[in-house]
Structure 1
Amino acid sequence: MPHIPRKATALLASAVTVCLLAAGAPAEPLGIGDRLFPHLGNPGYDVASYDLSFSYPGTNSEPLQSVTTINAWTTTTLDSVNLDFAHGDIESVELGGEPAAFTTAGQDLVVTPDEPLPTGSWMRITVRHTSDPRPAKDRDGGWVRTADGLAMANQADAAHLVFPGNDHPSDKAMFTIRVTAPNGYTAVANGLPTDVDRSRAATTWTYRTQHPMATELTQVSIGRSTVLRRTGPHSLPVRDVVPTKDRERLEPWLKKTPDQISWMEGKVGRYPFETYGVLMADVDTGYELETQTLSLFEKALFTEPAYPAWYVESIMVHELAHQWFGDSVSPRTWSDLWLNEGHATWYEALYAEEKADRPLAARMKAAYSASDRWRAAGGPPAAPKAPNPGQKISIFRPNVYDGAALVLYALRQEIGHPAFERLERAWVTHHQDGVAGTDDFVALASEIAGRDLSGFLQPWLYGEKTPPMPGHPEWKPAAPVKAPAAK
């Protein structure tokens, strides 16, 4: 997507980090110390809920007038509160219903109360701001401009390009999302609809989640769209969002979702949320995204004849599997990304094996051959290298996809199919609606297997070289490619 310069007056409003500042000290960007994104997230408080309101002007090249209300508990005494926010103008800030002083520091919006907030106090922060859909310089993600409106792609470090918040997956919260758009547009967001308010010129839609959600999983679709509804397992409401002009063309793919949900439930247990569906957006992002309850897909994935049907269906299952792995069970840190992508890749590959006769072992053998090269380029699966400058999504490298699925294959080889399947079900049950990390997975795997697996998993997760594959001594890493000799 081409870069469109922002107006010089746009504020670098920043990362909602809870400022543990001494009174009178200058504002500074903080963070919770994530290894990959050190300034992301904020210490000192726990968000309970977000209330987001967006007013779409009828064009995706102008900012949306927006209001973000954050309800949170303090976990320490705070002289100031940092919020992650980096791509909009701030009109005003209220704390507890009263005007509050604020400034910016790096990618943080820093709010200063009249008196320090004591530990365990309830706080409500309301920020009136713009939300800018134009690309942010040197940053990717946030609003995605589609052919007929907008969608969101907030992974991994980009929700704060859309709204202020505590933008780290370890702080999940409930969401209420209101979108006002001119008549002729349709707005859909995470969760279930609770209200539609129509007037002569515009309509306001309200959606609410029934399960906590990480900021990076927020989704709002605004476009000339049709919402198609069907029923999944256990009367689960399934709703898909498609460009109205393409609804008939896309229906053959949409109708596959209920059976795919049933297939995943057969592997890991009941679907964890109140609804599901796919958002097929007329946009070129280069990726698909597991936004909670409403996965984002490029329309071209379903209309480009070069993609075989089995491949398209397996990618649909990849994003569906994320609803368990990554959405319901969110990563404790971004270094735990392998737990999201490795599992989604695992079930994508397993689906292709069972439905399209694409052997899992063949894919894993190919991954084993490439694994040393992936580790050298991107780091081991559980200790990925930092993103490239200005490219937050560059952490999504092969080492956390097939490289991480290879770890799961090795684990299944080591403990056997029955124990592995028990582990997968236990993982999504024990940590449903929560956060978990690599150490939690190793501990649970050891518990299920009845023996300490840390020694086995350590080199698979953190080693520079790929360990021998249990049961396949003949598998060998590919020889490194040698640079041509200088002449």
Structure 2
Amino acid sequence: MPLSLGSRVPRRLKATLLASAVSVCLVAASAPAEPLGVGDRLFPYLGNPGYDVSSYDLSFTYGGDNGKPLQAVTTIDAWATENLERVNLDFAHGTVDAVEVDGLPAEFTTAGEDLVVTPKIPLPQGSWMRITVHHTSDPVPEKGRDGGWVRTADGLAMANQADAAHLVFPCNDHPSDKAMFTFHVTAPDGYTAVANGLPAGVTRTGGTTTWTYRTQHPMATELAQVSIGRSTVVHRTGPHGLPLRDVVPTEDREALEPWLARTPDQIAWMESKVGTYPFETYGVLMASVATGFELETQTLSLFEKKLFTEPALPRWYVESIMVHELSHQWFGDSVSPGTWSDVWLNEGHATLYEALYADEKANRPLETRMKAAYGASDRWREAGGPPALPKPPKPRQKIGVFRANVYDGAALVLYALRQEIGKPDFERLERAWVLAHRDGTATTADFERLASVIAGRDLSAFFQAWLYGEKTPPMPGHPDWQPAPPPRTAKK
């Protein structure tokens, strides 16, 4: 641990202090490596203390649909926020070949789901560091575990929410540490690669093509997206000249166009509610994959293609799901949760705007949906916890923390808030929220404080009951709404 010793320190004392510092370093370095975390209540070993990532530079080389791991290089630029003899990175599903810190070879080992790096020279607080990891990135999932790379009919895509980005690349895998991203994706000719952000170059060499993309806004690791497939990229223009690009299987290009054409109007609708779209581009990635969910990866939302090809699904429903993921670009992507217990702010808002869109565009009354949610809310709270205090996920459980209590249950909280403070103040709150925390992270406490300021009164009692209570409070303006009775069980 380097020390800054002034010239007035006696030579003998300086030598003693330096020897002591070296001794401390050796003791720390000889201690067993252990997994660390930032103390998230729901994912205690996600993220790592001691540094703040500024940027990721990710290189992936895809060899075609052979199931083999991708060759990869991850470069992380970060600030040390404390003195570091070791640096823990989240990484759990690949082989590490070599690690360098500031250009020098570094020792490394694993502990739990951490890659633990020991640089040759300890890193003092406030120093800038560059960590380069040469590794593989395995598209074959671990048995019983979902997330990370997902296999599509013609290639790969990513689904990293909530705790799976570190199955793809070494990172500080927690939304509280957002960073800029650059992607370099190499694939055989015949494939197309697209990633978050805007294109920054294409090079072709001996039967392969490398695409480069860069974000212009910081991003959480769980929102990273890379699509590799036999795809077509469809370009159009959105509001205010916003460049839009969609990624679809080439063979389905014409059939999917009516859905793709809806995006500009959907963005304009969202802007009328909460303000200007917060990023440099947007688009939908329609993948031939069965994930069981859609995902709001930043600037390029992931959708199952079958959502748009299943004839039994009504048009209004499909469009409202598109708006759900679009609204996440404001709520969850631009304004990211400070902890995973704050995920209700992501999903509650997205569900509310999904329902508002269906109300305004398809005559599906918001009040009807919220009344139904009120009836089920007590059961949701019992099963998944209150909206802002969700129960921890069970190990390797696919649904994780994404239960009904943080979707319609959280939208119900926002609807109750709108009833409590009035629609005009609620709309002012929404615009102020996404503006005040754009490109950052925010917590439930931040939302409560801003709501109280906008309303001109203390709303802490309201939020305590609605966000943390085991039972659903009375709905403002609807004293007749009642929770549904628990289901009756058959007598034995």
TM-score interval, normalised by the smaller of the two chains? over 0.9
- Deviation at 1:389? 1.8
Identity of aligned residues (%): 78
CA contact (8 A) 1:140 1:393 kept: no
Question: SS in structure 1 opposite 2:256?
Answer: helix
Q: 2:17 corresponds to which residue? A: none
Matches within 5 A, 1:298-447: 298-391=304-397, 393-447=399-453
State the shift of 1:60 in Å. 5.2
| Paired position in structure 2 for 1:23 | 29
Does structure 1 conserve the Cα–Cα contact (< 8 Å) formed by 2:105 and 2:120?
Answer: no
1:38 aligns to 2:44 (yes or no): yes
Q: Which amino acid aligns with 1:174?
A: M
Alignment of 1:125-164 (within 5 A): 125-164=131-170
Structure 2 CA distance for aligned equivalents of residues 381 and 334 of structure 1? 11
Q: Can you list the C-alpha shifts for 1:232-278, whole angstroms capped at 9, x where unaligned?
A: 00100000000000000000000000000000000000000000000
Does residue 258 of structure 1 match 2:264? yes
* TM-score calculated relative to the size of structure 2: 0.94
* Structure 2 letter corresponding to 1:180: T
Aligned pairs for 1:201-220 (under 5 A) are 201-220=207-226
| 2:272 equivalent to 1:270 | no
Distance 1:224 1:245 in 2: 9
Question: How far apart are residue 424 of structure 1 and its match?
Answer: 0.2
CA RMSD for the aligned pairs?
1.2
TM-score between the two structures when normalised by the length of structure 1: 0.95
Deviations 1:64-106 (A, max 9, x none): 0000000000100011000000000001000001110000000
Ranges of 4+ aligned residues in structure 1 off by more than 6 Å:
none
Structure 1 counterpart of 2:97, one-letter code: E
Whichever residue aligns with residue 264 of structure 2, its letter is P
> Given that residues 131 and 163 in structure 1 are in contact (C-alpha distance below 8 angstroms), is that contact kept between their aligned partners in structure 2?
yes
1: CA distance, partners of 2:439 / 2:205: 37
Counterpart Cα distance in 1 of 2:205 and 2:194: 18
Using a 3 Å threshold, how does the CA distance of structure 1 residues 412 and 224 change in structure 2: closer, same or farther? same
What's the secondary structure of 1:395's corresponding residue?
coil
Query: What is the SS of the residue equivalent to 1:396?
Result: coil
Question: Which residue is 1:283 aligned to?
Answer: 289
Q: Residue type matched to 2:179 in 1?
A: A
Q: How many residues align?
A: 468
In the alignment, what sits opposite 1:239?
Answer: 245
1:135 is displaced (CA, Å) by: 1.0
User: SS at 2:181's partner residue?
Assistant: strand
Matching residue of 1:52: 58
1:321 and 1:195, CA in 2 relative to 1: closer, same or farther beyond 3 A?
same
Distance 1:437 1:61 in 2: 40
Give distance in 1, aligned partners of 2:279 and 2:227.
19
| d(CA) in 1 for partners of 2:292, 2:448 | 33
Q: Note the C-alpha offset of 1:160.
A: 0.2
Counterpart of 1:227?
A: 233
Q: Distance in 1 between matches of 2:115 and 2:398?
A: 20
Describe the SS at the equivalent of 1:443.
helix
Residue 392 of structure 1 and its aligned partner are, at CA, apart by 5.3
Aligned ranges 1:81-120 → 2 under 5 Å: 81-120=87-126
- In 2, the alpha carbon distance for the partners of 1:424 and 1:113 equals 45
Unaligned runs of 5+ in 1: 1-18
Q: Which amino acid aligns with 1:470?
A: P
The whole-number CA distance in structure 2 between the counterparts of 1:137 and 1:432 is 38
For 2:199 and 2:265, the matched residues in 1 are separated by 24
Q: CA deviation at 1:140?
A: 1.4
Distance 2:151 2:97 in 1: 24
Q: Distance in 2 between matches of 1:483 and 1:157?
A: 36
Is the 1:331–1:436 Cα contact (8 Å) retained in structure 2?
yes
| Residues 1:167 and 2:173 aligned together | yes
CA distance in 1, matches of 2:397, 2:183: 28
Letter in 2 for 1:205: W
Which string of whole-angstrom CA distances, capped at 9 and with x for unpartnered residues, describes residues 411-438 of structure 1? 0000000000000000000000000010
